Chains A and B, each alone.
Chain A
Amino acid sequence: MTTTLSTTGRRASTRRRTDRRLGGRRANLLYVPALILFALFTVYPLLKGVELSFTNWNGFSPRSSYVGFDNYLRLLHDANVRKTLANTLIYGVGSTLVQQILGLGLALALDRAMRGRNLARAIIYLPALVSPVVMGTMYYLFFQYNNGVLNDVTGWFGGEKVAWLSSANTALIIVVMVNSLQFVGVSMIIYLAGLQSIPWMYTEAAMLDGADAWQRFRYITLPLLQPAFATSIVLNLIGGLKLFDVIKVLTGGGPGYATNSLSTFISVTYFDAQSAGYASAMGVVLFLLIVVFTIAANTALNRRRMEEM
């Protein structure tokens, strides 16, 4: 008991000495410039946004007044908001699902020796570096009604032309697919890094014990990939829930309001409908949505990891 106390005491004093040598408390000044930026451009807008969400400000007039929870009540009764919220969840959850399935599949395929493996990885990752705006423009060439690649191909087989982007259901699926394909390389690389961190001796030991490929995958690879799952899923969820660029270019939120996400609907409400207070309330909802999903995904995935260990 006494020895432990004295060791911790000594360790603490060493730490203090080290700390003094490295500049002591004054060293904290080094993060002040960064904190000023955050305070000005993230924290203040976030708090100000909460305040604005309780007003009827139109976005430019110097006058506005507090309206209590009116904006939030209006959100509950607004059919467009309900649609938008559903779309946001479809984008978030849909993209996450597609990216995990394809990303993990590609990582497993490209983890083994294969000719052209590096080239394949480089090409699959490439779209992730391109602006989603450009990606949307490029994919528009596929889904356009006249002369679009997809309608040309179905035409060769005697199919009728389809207005892919003017129908809410197909447009939603197209947005999810374009976003998923663009960033599938990111998931692939996260899973590849995860696979490469699994020591070969585990697999070898399982093989010696007579485990077949499926058993090795189920009882070794999958549990040891848990950190990669957590990283990739959280990253894709955030990316999908805040989706903006692709929708703006590919569908513009239409037909009507059918493919808006919360992000695109906020910009429409603020700049076109000039309801800044209402748009701020949506901003608060979007922020809370992402916080809740991120924390939930993190807790669920980390808990599972603990159980499997």
Chain B
Amino acid sequence: MKRQGVARPRRVRVGRAAIGAFVVVIVLIQVMPFYVTLTTALKPKTDLSSRLSLPSGGIHWKNFSLAIADGHILSSIGNSAVVTVATTVIVCVFGALAAYPLARRRTRTNSLVLLGILGLMMIPPLSVLVPLYSLLNQMGGINTYWGVVLVLANMQLPLAIFLYANFIRGLPASIEEAARVDGANLIQVLVHIVFPMLKPVTATVVILTSVATWNEYALSVYLLTDPTKQTIAPAISSFFSVQSSNLGAASAASLLAVLPILVVYLFLQQYFIKGMVAGAEK
């Protein structure tokens, strides 16, 4: 595979340099927003130097305290944590349960059910905004955690069911059959045999669901309008529109919103990329 000891022709070297330059440019473009947001967040409003330059007169922390005090950013992060954990738990439990019969009993009805569930993934949330909002309004679910959690879980479930069903199909059924013959009931089989084997795919489902829920905006912004209930993405956008004259504070708020994901990504990077591939290869 390696072509060692062969002097590379000049054309190949130029080609390699061009490829390297292309990658470096894209990497820089992807880093720039974070860098510029950081410099903006660390400068006072009165500092009109270019956002590309680092703060000159010492670091200015006031934007962060402003984001926390006026933007309710910390409480929004807390709200997002509640909504994300609840949604992810429901998606994992309902998803694994639903996937089991769909993977193991491949009758015509169940194939149709699975196909229908996959079809749900195509529905854009805004296309059902009007009836969904008025339904939740009638149910008293506007500005409640359970309302937004059930709606978001319903949006994330199809992909989770699909991933779980694919994974279960790859597991041998013989252990489950043996346990049944020995007198275990279906629930016991699920709890003691099937669920423990689902750990790898659950990692994928947890990553995909929690990132999507943490970042969700299009529906949360209408379902949670009470500032004390707001999740982070709507909170950022309303703080941004209020603070349009003080982008330092908006930048600080953005950085605070990204921080939790950044920290998790730093430690679990490989899982994220594996999960992404698994989620995409439907």
Contacts and interface: CB of A to CB of B under 8 A. Distances in A.
B196 interface: no
B33 interface: yes
B211 A129 contact: yes
B173 interface: yes
B1 A200 contact: yes
Interface string A105-116: 110011010100
Given A42-B120, A52-B130, A34 B247 contact: no
Contacts of A23: 101, 180, 186, 189
A231 B280 contact: yes
Contacts of B48: 147
Contact of A22 (B40, B129, B133, B186): B186
Interface in B119-163: 120, 122-135, 150-151, 153-155, 157-158, 161
B254 interface: yes
B100 interface: yes
Contacts, number: 286
Contacts of A303: none
Contacts of B154: 37-38, 40-42
A190 B23 contact: no
Contacts of A21: 176-177, 180-181
A37 B186 contact: no
A21 B105 CA distance: 11
Contact of B126 (A120, A135, A283): A283
Given A122-B269, A242-B124, A28 B180 contact: no
A182 to B, nearest CB: 9
Interface in A125-139: 125-135, 137-139
A37 B30 CA distance: 38
Q: In the complex, which range does the number of interface residues on chain B fall in?
A: 35 or more
A104 interface: no
B94 A33 contact: yes
A56 B40 CA distance: 47
A37 B247 contact: no
A10 interface: no
Interface in A1-57: 18-19, 21-23, 25-28, 30-31, 33-35, 37-38, 40-42, 44-46, 48-49, 52
Interface of B: 1, 19-20, 22-23, 26-27, 29-34, 36-37, 40, 48, 50-52, 94-95, 97-102, 104-105, 109-110, 113, 117, 120, 122-135, 150-151, 153-155, 157-158, 161, 173, 176-177, 180-181, 186, 189-190, 211, 214-215, 217-218, 222, 232-234, 236-237, 240, 247, 250-251, 254, 257-258, 261-262, 265, 269, 272-273, 276-277, 280-282
Given A27-B101, A102-B26, A270-B130, 9 more contacts: A22-B186, A31-B99, A38-B158, A52-B130, A123-B27, A126-B262, A131-B258, A137-B250, A263-B127
